[in-house]
Structure 1
Amino acid sequence: MNARVLRVLEYDKMKAQLKMHAASSLGLKKIEELTPHTDFHKTKEELDRTQEGVKVLRLKGQAPLGGIRNISSHIKRAQIGGLLNASELLETADTIYAGRRIKAFIGAMTEDDIDLPLLKGIVDRIVPLTGLEQAIKRCIDDHGEVVDAASPSLRSIRQQIRANEADVRSKLEQMIRSSNQQKKLSDAIVTVRNGRYVVPVKQEYRASFGGIVHDQSASGATLFIEPQSVVNINNRLREAKVKEDQEIERILRELSGQVSEHVDELLENSGCLAELDFLFAKSYYARELEAVPPRLNDGGRFTFKKARHPLIEKDVVVPIDVELGDTFSSLVITGPNTGGKTVTLKTVGLLTLMVQSGLFIPVEEDSEATVFANVFADIGDEQSIEQNLSTFSSHMTNIVDILKGVDHKSLVLFDEIGAGTDPTEGAALAVSILDDVYEKGAKLVATTHYSELKGYAYNREGVMNASVEFDVNTLRPTYRLLIGVPGRSNAFAISRRLGLQESIIQRAEAEINAESRQVEQMITSLDEKRREAEAEEESAKKIRQDAESLQAELRKKLQELENQKNTIFQEAEKKAAAELEKAQAEAKEIIRGLRELQKQGQSVKEHHIIDAKKRLEDASPNLSKRHKEIKKQAKERQSFKPGDEVRVTKFGQNGQVLKKISEKEYLVQLGIMKVNVKVDDMERVKAERVTQPTRPITSVSAKPSVKPELDLRGVRFEEAMRQLEKYLDDAVLAGYPQVHIIHGKGTGALRKGVKEFLKKHPSVKESRDGGMNEGGLGNTVARLQ
């Protein structure tokens, strides 16, 4: 695509919005390199990739992409035998971990029968390299420091260092506590100069104190002296630290060598993570814009329904319906200035470029898009003072270049074609240019002020008029695009509305020739009929809404009656059961009396007693059975609508109604499954749509040893934010209710950055400054949720 066209259509501004959703510099680089595709199959594949990313976000809320680093330079330096420092090795391990985590995340979704073939194809190329990751993490901690456990030699050396440090500090502290020496000291402290432990001695006691001078204060009043008694210990300490540095270098070189053994896998992993970051950036952007995938065709036609320009605020932009390439291939838009003609052109152009870049677009469902080999645009004032060109000359120079490259696979956008010169000549030239583009088979959208072009669309097959609506009553444009209706001249109507004398308006109307007047009358008639049709459509919509509202109200009342009936029946059943129980008790009493008579020798037959008892039992109505039948009928009569939340009693789970299959059966979403459920097995929970979870459902393994505090003192700001992000994830997985972030006071920049980060993190419920016994302003306490 021509760079000037991308600039005119504000493609770079759209990419700036897209960059806000990248998780790493790898994704940012992919977005920087993004240009529209001109191949239909490549465009279709990119849209399908974005579709899978959107599906992941819909089901899981977000994708785990934290920890991705650009390690290309680290890998290449290791490949040629270079030594990677601890931070570079840690970034390599973090990137390996990020790849392993997203691979497991996508793998778990596919195991749950979620169809993600393109995403799975990317993550299948990621090599876990768990051994290399563990080797680095075993030797280097989250702060980028080589740990004691990196090697037995390093542990032994550091034990020697600690022992020597303790020894020298002990001797010096004894010295500064001595009453004989305290008067010779400027301050009773032990400090370090040039890597050696020293004490501050007053200048006048230099000769009597002895030892080696390593430094002095700015005033010269204090000398920092290493007493002779600790020189040997300091020497041993210095030798141990040299050995420590040598051992650390050996460990880093060994790890760098392991990295060099996996150069190809690491480069492939980085490439896959860049693709994934880019893919999910497009998916997050689609969610932000509330964009949808259009149906793609290779027939050169598009239909954008309720299309919105992505760079205009959603609550400000007026959606438009625009189509091209089906019944007509050229669209001529007329209307007043500031009426939205240029925005319409830019919307068509930018949405086309977005589709060809694999991005969803802010339109309604069932919109359609196509793939053009070239998009040409002449929009805005391209006047060049340096070239001494007028507005007309500048536009014409651009149009000449466009006409050289136009073919049947092109989309051409002209803004105010033919403007800037004599109206008669300009209109004639515009007609000729439009004819040339039309004859080459290109798709064309053009805006104009010339009334001659209104008739042009009527006289050419395949050309359609359109206009931006203008409300004469308010004297303001509505920004609606009306296809099939040319723009009418509002000059006389506006003048009359503003109070210009009728006689002047009539004389002006008399100056208009009969043909122009006839065209205006025709346009006015069309406009009136359109308004009548819209009014009737609005009335029909209102009637339908009233009918639906009445139907819903009747359904609600019917349900209330059913509930009342069930309540009444239950009360009646309780009352009848009580009466029945009383009657049975009396019957039992009668039978007992009969038996007593029998025992006394009276003539009472056993079968008489049995018959009497059976007649009493048969007389009791089966109320429970009747009640169950009524409840079953009530359930069969109740109805659900798509979006209702129900409990499926058969499975004991809640789900969401997707659609009605029959009077007795519905299709219900249970987790990731869609199940046909009978109405008998459904109970309404609440009549509202199930919302997606806001937090991601990820499966990651927490590091076993997570401390309840994170010390960021002395860490660069960017590195501190990276460590803080990873630490919060580990702390949440470890189950800590709260953690301490130690950042110190310093300039306050790190403290401010930590507080801002904690406010935005989804796992942090609240944060506060540390108390008096918690480090005060140098510590921030975060409560996790």
Structure 2
Amino acid sequence: MLHYDKQTYKDLEFDFLIEKMSEFCVGDTALQRILNLAPVKSNTKLLADLNNANEYKQIRTEGEQFPRIDFEELKTEIRMLPIANSALQKESFGRLLRATLLCNTLVYFFNKREEDYPHLSSLLADVYFTKEIADPINEVFDKSGEIKDDASEELFQIRQQIKSTRIQINKNFDRELRKLMKDGLVSDTREAFLDERRVLSVISSHKRKVSGNVVGSSKTGGLTYIEPQVNVPLNNELELLLDDERKEIFKILKALTKELSVHLPLIKAYQELLTEFDFIQAKVRLALMFDGVLPAIQENTELELIEAYHPVLLMKNKAANKPTIPQYLSMDKFSRMLVISGPNAGGKSITLKTVGLLQLMLQCGLLVPVHENSKMCFFNALLTDIGDNQSIENELSTYSYRLKRMKHFLEVANKKTMLLLDEFGTGSDPDLGGALAEVFFESLYNKKCFGVITTHYANIKLKADKLRNAVNGCMLFDTETLEPLYKLSLGQPGSSFTFEVAQINGIDMALIEEAKTRLDEKKVKMDQLLSELQREKTYLARLNKEHIEAQEIALKAKNKYETSKKKFEEKLLAQQELYEKNNNLIQKGKKLQNFINQYKSNAKAKNANAGLLQEVKKYIATEKFKIDEQKREVELKKNANKPQKKQRNTPKKKDNQFLDKIKVGSTVKLNETKQNGTVEELNGKEVTVSFGFMRLKVMKDKLTWIKD
């Protein structure tokens, strides 16, 4: 974006978003980038920034185990590493260790997700997984960040001597302390520490009785602090050892610094990567506050904002637990100048600011609170004239200020410009200012720029209606409740509802009627006509909404009925099957019960049940045959549904080449079964076969000959 200024930031309340994002920054680099955030001039770079933010939001909202971006910047380390014979401080190595571990984790995360997050993955082009920074640091430092005793052999020896010397100093001190306590020469405090040395707290009146160096006294002079004579040489030796320790640590850190200096390009890449993620994270954390998304970016100059929210208003309303009404707005080359009219306090300015702020956010690489199916594009200039901007320093009135802004707009506006003009033409005599505003409007229109303009001037509304690529819009007003609806409607101008708003605010009706008599009759009729049109449009919109809701209710009821009907039919079918199954079992039970009753009645007669038993066996065999037949039918259906294998071109055998051998007394079996039977009678192609206690009549070709 080539043309924008700080006044645009102020007019659109962009500074509020900057302040919010600055709270989310971890390091100073990202903070400065946020504080200096401006529209990105390169469209390629802008698209990359938007895609980075969009992918980072996906990671945060889809539950990915993403590492926390928490680090300390490496500016000092990058400055010190190239200097010969330099040694980094202990804290620097801690920052380097944490940075390399975090970057290794990022490399590991994106290693298998390059296809899912290609834009974020590309940020790691100069960073790679390595242990060549972490391992040398871990060899020198422990987990608490202190240098290990075995960081070098010399350091190990020095610290062993320090430890031994301190033990001896403490033994000597404790021995002297016990002796002086026995003699009553020390105070109640017994001891103190001065210059990191353990000293005796001796009563000043007895100080000459204690052998040692006097190193100080209390404020009152009642106590004298004495270093025991026996420890004087040991403490001096300890000082020398501590100095040796410091020198050896410096030597170790110097060597470690030199070892890590070869990785300076990678460490610089760490700094760039982490500060970039810090910057992206701040933008995404802001987007999560109002569910910002990346709309479809169009190459052509067009806008379609679906469910668009003013982000500042949305956040403030959320904090106050208030609803926020979204807006719909569509602009293209055939409707590039939108003139919004309607009542005061009806939402004209907030709608205009919504369009402007969303456009400014998008061109600064921020996600915007719109529906994901929305469409937006890039402009080269965003020019605003919103609110009362008097210039006290230059002694400019509001109207003079606006004229200067308009002069600038006319100079720079083109087809890639978005204009936002609030209360267009106000600040001067209504008739004269309206006429000049109309001329400005035509001139800006001829520049082929895009613009959103709010006005009360009737001549601007009429001009927008006449111009081919301009369109009127109005903020809806409920003429029944006399309350604004805060929703934009495209296609017609709106009434200012001056008298209705006056009525809401308690102005006496007699005064309102008197005011009407002083207006031009045509103007009153025009305003009434706009009011009636809006009333009818509101009524039709309500009817349409109720019709849509009724259709949705009817569709839900229909779906519910069809679902219930299907469930009922399935339940009825299951019940019928269960009934048939139970009825079949009942009939079989009755049959068996009849056998039992006959058996009991014939029990007294000798051999009376022999025939009955034969009948029972015949019944059981019949039922078994039915079951086998059912199984065979199921198997045949199952095989029929299987894909048939191509058969080889081999001569087919006859299905049964021994049919002529079948005669009375032959043993045969039914095809597709394993049960054998005996032929009792032949009647042409029909054969009577006895299967145990069951006799069946079957066709001859259904049998297979076994033996005579």
Deviation per CA, 1:564-590: give whole Å up to 9, x if none: 669868987997899799899999999
2:140 is matched with: 139
Q: Secondary structure at the match of 1:444?
A: strand
2:229 is matched with: 228
| CA RMSD of superposed structures (Å) | 3.7
1:356 matches 2:363 = yes
Which of 103, 107, 120 in structure 1 is aligned with 2:107?
A: 103
1:298 matches 2:299 = yes
1:53 matches 2:56 = yes
Which of 16, 21, 37 in structure 1 is aligned with 2:19?
A: 16
| CA deviation after TM superposition for structure 1 residue 187, in Å | 3.4
1:522 is matched with: 529
Deviation per CA, 1:647-697: give whole Å up to 9, x if none: xxxxxxxxxxxxxxxxxxxxxxxxxxxxxxxxxxxxxxxxxxxxxxxxxxx
1:538 matches 2:545 = yes
Give the Cα–Cα distance (whole angstroms) in 2 for the partners of residues 232 and 439 of structure 1. 96
2:6 is matched with: 3
1:70 is matched with: 73
Q: Is contact 1:580-1:620 (8 Å) kept?
A: no
2:654 is matched with: none
2:389 is matched with: 382
Q: Is contact 1:176-1:188 (8 Å) kept?
A: no
1:596 is matched with: none
1:125 is matched with: 126
Larger Rg: 2
C-alpha change, 1:48 and 1:501, in structure 2 (3 Å) is: closer
Q: Is contact 1:282-1:359 (8 Å) kept?
A: yes
Letter in 1 for 2:17: M
Letter in 1 for 2:499: F
Q: Secondary structure at the match of 2:187?
A: coil
1:250 is matched with: 251
2:175 is matched with: 174
TM-score by length of 2: 0.78
2:470 is matched with: 463
1:631 is matched with: none
| CA deviation after TM superposition for structure 1 residue 163, in Å | 2.0
Q: Secondary structure at the match of 2:526?
A: helix
Q: Is contact 1:22-1:278 (8 Å) kept?
A: yes
Q: Is contact 1:90-1:137 (8 Å) kept?
A: no
Letter in 2 for 1:135: P
Q: Is contact 1:172-1:190 (8 Å) kept?
A: no
Give the Cα–Cα distance (whole angstroms) in 2 for the partners of residues 581 and 485 of structure 1. 82
| CA deviation after TM superposition for structure 1 residue 101, in Å | 0.9
Give the Cα–Cα distance (whole angstroms) in 1 for the partners of residues 628 and 536 of structure 2. 70
| CA deviation after TM superposition for structure 1 residue 608, in Å | 9.2
Aligned ranges for residues 48-447 of structure 1 at < 5 Å?
48-61=51-64, 63-81=66-84, 82-110=86-114, 114-178=115-179, 181=182, 183-187=184-188, 189-312=190-313, 313=315, 314=318, 315-447=322-454
| CA deviation after TM superposition for structure 1 residue 230, in Å | 2.0
C-alpha change, 1:497 and 1:264, in structure 2 (3 Å) is: closer
Deviation per CA, 1:269-296: give whole Å up to 9, x if none: 2112222232333333333211221111
| CA deviation after TM superposition for structure 1 residue 371, in Å | 0.4
Give the Cα–Cα distance (whole angstroms) in 2 for the partners of residues 12 and 193 of structure 1. 55
| CA deviation after TM superposition for structure 1 residue 30, in Å | 3.3
Letter in 1 for 2:228: P
- Structure 1 stretch 342-351 or stretch 564-573: which is displaced more? 564-573
| CA deviation after TM superposition for structure 1 residue 38, in Å | 3.8
Q: Is contact 1:39-1:371 (8 Å) kept?
A: no
- Structure 1 stretch 41-50 or stretch 165-174: which is displaced more? 41-50
Give the Cα–Cα distance (whole angstroms) in 2 for the partners of residues 573 and 212 of structure 1. 115
Deviation per CA, 1:173-218: give whole Å up to 9, x if none: 2332337645111136554322322221111121111111222222
Give the Cα–Cα distance (whole angstroms) in 2 for the partners of residues 254 and 553 of structure 1. 78
Give the Cα–Cα distance (whole angstroms) in 2 for the partners of residues 23 and 559 of structure 1. 59
Q: Is contact 2:166-2:238 (8 Å) kept?
A: yes
Letter in 2 for 1:127: Y
Deviation per CA, 1:23-65: give whole Å up to 9, x if none: 4444333323432124433332322222222222233356313
Aligned ranges for residues 666-705 of structure 1 at < 5 Å?
none
Letter in 1 for 2:50: L
| CA deviation after TM superposition for structure 1 residue 326, in Å | 4.0
Give the Cα–Cα distance (whole angstroms) in 2 for the partners of residues 471 and 464 of structure 1. 22
Q: Which runs of 5 or more structure 1 residues have no equivalent in the other structure?
A: 594-599, 628-785
Q: Secondary structure at the match of 2:259?
A: helix
C-alpha change, 1:87 and 1:237, in structure 2 (3 Å) is: same
Q: Secondary structure at the match of 2:123?
A: helix
Letter in 2 for 1:524: S
Q: Is contact 1:329-1:463 (8 Å) kept?
A: yes
Give the Cα–Cα distance (whole angstroms) in 2 for the partners of residues 286 and 625 of structure 1. 67
Deviation per CA, 1:218-253: give whole Å up to 9, x if none: 222222211112223223322221111111111111
Deviation per CA, 1:607-637: give whole Å up to 9, x if none: 999865432334569999999xxxxxxxxxx
The percent of aligned pairs where both chains have the same amino acid is 25
Give the Cα–Cα distance (whole angstroms) in 2 for the partners of residues 23 and 573 of structure 1. 75
C-alpha change, 1:585 and 1:12, in structure 2 (3 Å) is: farther
C-alpha change, 1:226 and 1:609, in structure 2 (3 Å) is: same
| CA deviation after TM superposition for structure 1 residue 147, in Å | 2.4
Deviation per CA, 1:248-269: give whole Å up to 9, x if none: 1111112222232221111122
| CA deviation after TM superposition for structure 1 residue 311, in Å | 0.8
Give the Cα–Cα distance (whole angstroms) in 2 for the partners of residues 422 and 331 of structure 1. 24
Give the Cα–Cα distance (whole angstroms) in 2 for the partners of residues 569 and 222 of structure 1. 108
